[in-house]
Amino acid sequence: MSTNAAGISIRGVTKRYGSTIALNGVDLDVRPGEVLGIAGPNGAGKSTLIRVIAGEERSDGGELTFDGVPWSPTVDWHAVAVVHQEPQLFPNLTVAQNVMVGREGTSAARPSLSAADARVMDALGIGHLRDRQLADCSLATQQRTEIARAVARDSRVFLFDEPNSALTAAESDELFREMHKIAATGRIVLLVTHRLGDLVEHCKRVAIVRDGRVRAVLEGEALTEDGLARQLVTDSGGAHGHAGARNAAATQAGPELFSARGWTHAKAFRGISMDGKAGEIIALVGVEGSGSRELLRSFAGLERCTGTISIGGMSGEAALRRQTAYVPATRLLSLYSNFSVGENLLVRLGYPEIAGFGLALKRRRMREMARAAVSRFLVKTRTTTQEIRSLSGGNQQKVAIAQALHCGPKLLLLEEPTRGVDIHSKAEIYRLLRDYADEGNTVIIFCTEVLEVYEAADRVHVVAGGTLSPSLQVAEYGHVEQLATDITRLEQEGRSEARAA
Amino acid sequence: MSSSDTTQPPPGHGISAVGKATLDAALRVGGLFAAVIAVALVFVFINPNFANPNLAVSVLRAMSSVAIMAMGLTLVIVVGEIDLSFGAMYGLAANTLAVVWIAMGVSVYLAIPIAIGVGILVGLFNGFLVTSFKIPSFIVTLGSYNLLYGLSLWISNTGTFNPNYPPPGGVVDQGELNFFIGLTQNIGKYSLSIEIFWMLGIAVVVGFLLHRSLFGFRLMAIGGNPEAGKLARLPVKRYKILAFILCSVLASIAGILDFSFIQTSQPDIGLSQTFPVFAAVIIGGASLAGGKGTIIGTLGGALLLAELQIGLALLSPGPHVQQIFLGAVTIGAVALDLFLTKLRKSRTA
């Protein structure tokens, strides 16, 4: 009884968004003094669970208890501190002011730094920076400030959400040392990360969230990178077309469609050579700050680069402008909330597709095109005149992709095309991409999940330290774990090469 | 009428400027014109003499220059920017025309294009600073408001001009004078000013631009999500600059037409129009956040304001009542709009 009562107990917690079930009865115990890892594929409910624990979202059902007492994080939000990937602080205030913020209390006077605050900041190694404006501090310092604020507030639960994705190796070691110190004081610590190595190294137990539930909790012997990788992958029955056979066919078939030589960006990468054949889907993998996102965006002409490039018989600026279309990672950057579904589908088109003489819109044609697009791109919507917001996340994502496909790019560029998308839509999106490649185009996807590489791509390049690895043929892998291992190896090689150079 | 479980799109609903947004706009415009009628009925109830076509005509005349400027402002607001300088532009256009034509003796047929050309330059200036230097449009146009007013004071030498009484040494050709006055002269039994027809003609053109052309479609898109527009490589900068140019040009036209009607220019004319024009656009349902707004709504807003202004001027003991009503109606219209939107959303969700 005593072991069960201490810490947070989550029982049967559910959460739905419209028709989508994000959490479907989560059971989880978090004990004080341990570091509990949480892992799961994107869109599996992991981030919803975190938001519920952090009090940013109210659960629909189930119950939470803290030390045996019913607990509502939305009310008791002070108890939970989240250390974000991107610190959510006030960049215009100093480090010390950020630590004190929210503690103005009832007096009109500005709060002053207490001795206890100073001790906390010193312990975290940011004491000497206290009067520095936060905007001028490194990301590592900003995260420490976030931790200091939480410690000073006496938060009892610390939630580290992908905390080291943009830190150097040394900085993240430091961060994890602080994390363990916090756990040692008997506080509750949760670590959410995509990096399996970190989970194995730093967590006592790791909960795997899949399809809105905690599917497994690994600990002790069972807690290995391999074991985690397998848990993350073995799920979601049906959605898995490892596209082996089609891959093989595609690699033989297509003529060269895309090539970049000496492709160099002022900050993110240099001297990259890359090719693509018609019919190919190529994945780019790389951690935040590796240059992979910038590389993808540069092919869309959104980053200024030097080098030579040719796409579908055109070269230079013209090729980037006329032959490519880019789909950003978040739908906030591709959909127009003031537009209907149909308008969103057609918004990238212009003269002569949807407008004729005098730039008058061809309204009947637009209606027909919108209806055709809805059925071709498998968008589930009652009408084309519905508000875009009324669609589910997966269907919104299909609209975002369809928008770009309508331009008929020879080179389609997508950033995390299935982020926050349900399994069914995911499979449909992969099918759409495959069909589009089969029509004689090249598709490049920036992925953060190995599973996505495995399910969707023919080849994968790893970007690390601003250079591009040789590609791996996905069809040669019988298991996603092997692919994950090789990608990790290429990542490490790339980073050490970059350091040597 | 339309039930919530239809599988086919209701007939007559296209997809451009369309869908749910059209329905919203239609309700909004319907409500607005119902308010216009209700206010008219109240006035007639208070004083039966108000039921008189001449009064209706003067309301239309009074709204026309406000409406012309408001349509230009609607374009800028739809694309997600703001223009505070159109009132000063109205004055600068009238003063430019006055100086070039009456004082410098250039033909009116050339002086009018020059005054409109100044509008194009000002729009270009505003748009360029906003898009290329990324200065917020509020600040740019606050600056150009003062700048343009300064220019008006300078070129007019703080003087007033009237083409019927040219300054010593100046000569105004009678034919040119007739043409100029003819731009807005009253015609017909109810002495309908031609300025009303200018307003209607401009409404047709701008309405086409905003609601039936690729230009307007993209303007709405850019206003709704400028970042997405940029990533999708829509011509964001060019369209924003064009919106500023159209706004300044329409303000110039309004200034020239009012000059023709009043026949007197002063350096500070137009400045006091700034906020009533904003009020018309906001009452008409445009959102300062961008991506939302209609020409018919803006016309309705201008009409409601003109109606209140004239009705209250005839009834009230003082100008304070008009101002208080203007304030109340502006806030009330937006508050009502937000309330009804929320109500509908909570019903459909």
Residue B134 bridge partners (DSSP) = none
Q: Residue A110's pLDDT is what?
A: 66
Q: Which amino acid is at A136?
A: D
Q: Which residue in this structure is represented by tokens 């009865």? A: A25
Residue A298, φ and ψ in degrees, nearest 5: -65, -30
Rounded-to-integer distance, Cα A404 and Cα A451, Å: 24
- Is 70 exceeded by the pLDDT of residue A451? yes
Strands A61-66 and A35-39: unpaired
**Contacts with B26 from chain A: Cβ below 8 Å:** none
Mean residue pLDDT of chain B comes to 88
CB A376 within 8 A of CB A401: no
- Token digits of residue A369: 């095109």
Of A357-366, B11-20, B283-292, give the lowest mean pLDDT range.
B11-20
Percent of chain A with pLDDT over 90: 25
| Strand order across the A305-311 sheet | A272-277, A256-265, A305-311, A314-315
Q: What is the mean pLDDT of residues A47-54?
A: 86
**A209-224 pLDDT tens trace:** 888 888 889 888 888 8
pLDDT band at B12; cut points 50, 70, 90: very low
- Residue A424 — pLDDT band, cuts 50, 70, 90? confident
Position B217 scores a pLDDT of: 94
- Predicted pLDDT of residue B11: 36
Shortest Cα–Cα distance, A355 to chain B (Å): 6
Least confident among A364-373, B12-21, B99-108, B171-180? B12-21
pLDDT of residue B14: 37
Mean pLDDT of the A330-357 span = 89
Closest listed residue to residue B15, CA positions, set A267, A462, A420, A343: A343
pLDDT at B10: 38
Question: Is the CB of A347 less than 8 angstroms away from the CB of B232?
Answer: yes
Dig out the tokens for B284 from the structure: 């008409």
Residues in chain A: 501
Which run of H or E residues covers position B164? none
User: Mean pLDDT across chain A, nearest whole number?
Assistant: 84
Q: Provide the pLDDT confidence category of residue A329 given band limits of 50, 70 and 90.
A: confident
Give B-chain residues touching A366 at CB under 8 angstroms. Answer: 14-16
Main-chain phi, psi angles of A263, to 5 degrees: -75, 115
Q: Which residue has the higher pLDDT, B192 or A18?
A: B192
pLDDT at residue B2 tops 60: no
A361: chain B residues, CB-CB within 8 Å: 16, 212-214, 217
3-state secondary structure B250-317: HHHHHHHHHHHHHCCECCCCCHHHHHHHHHHHHHCCCCCCCCCCCHHHHHHHHHHHHHHHHHHHHHCC
Q: What is the average pLDDT across A172-192? A: 88
Q: Is A337's CB within 8 Å of B292's CB? A: no
β pairing state of A188-192 and A157-161: parallel
Of A301, A321, A367, the CB nearest to B15: A367
Q: In the prediction, which pLDDT does B9 show?
A: 37
* Digit-coded pLDDT (tens) for B152-176: 999 999 999 999 998 887 788 999 9
Q: What per-residue confidence (pLDDT) applies to A97?
A: 86
> Which position has the higher pLDDT, B28 or B144?
B144
Cβ contact B160:B95 at 8 Å: no
Query: A166-175, A410-419, B32-41: which has the minimum mean pLDDT?
Result: A166-175
Residue located via tokens 């069972």: A222
Would the CB atoms of B20 and A364 count as touching at under 8 Å? no
- Of the listed ranges A19-23, B35-39, B61-65, B286-290, the one predicted with least confidence: A19-23
* pLDDT score for A4: 54
Out of A303-312, A416-425, A482-491, which region has the weakest mean confidence (pLDDT)?
A416-425
Contact A371, A384 (CB under 8 A): yes
Residue A182 CA to residue A143 CA, distance in Å, equals 14
Residue A466 tokens read as 């601003």
Predicted confidence band of residue A236 (pLDDT cuts 50, 70, 90): very low
Where residue A252 falls among pLDDT bands split at 50, 70, 90? Answer: low
Tell me the pLDDT tens digit for each residue of A259-311: 999 999 988 888 999 999 999 999 999 877 788 889 999 999 999 999 999 99
Residue B305: what pLDDT? 92
* Cβ separation A328–B221 shorter than 8 A: no
DSSP-derived pairing of the beta strands A272-277 and A80-83:
unpaired
DSSP state for residue A236 in the 8-state scheme:
S
Residues of A contacting chain B (CB within 8 angstroms): 300-302, 321, 325-326, 328, 332-343, 346-348, 350-351, 354-355, 358-361, 363-364, 366-367, 370, 382-387, 403-404
> Residue A129: is its pLDDT beyond 90?
no
Asked whether B136 and B84 are in contact (CB, 8 A), the reply is: no
Residue whose entry in the numeric block shows the structure tokens 């994945």: A283
| Residue with the larger pLDDT of the pair B20 and B85 | B85
d(CA A13, CA A25): 5
Identify the bridge partners of residue A473 per DSSP, sorted by sequence position: A459
Task: State residue A238's pLDDT score.
Answer: 41
The band of B313, judged by pLDDT with boundaries at 50, 70 and 90, is confident
- The tokens describing A457, both together, are 């791509």
Strand, helix or coil at A25?
strand
- Taking the CA of residue B215 and the nearest CA in chain A, the distance in Å comes to 7
Flag whether pLDDT at B144 surpasses 70: yes
Q: How far is A302 from chain B (nearest CA, A)?
A: 7
Model confidence, pTM:
0.80
Nearest CA in chain A to B78: A338
More reliable by pLDDT, A340 or A391: A340
Task: Report chain B residues whose CB lies below 8 A from the CB of A363.
Answer: 14-16, 212
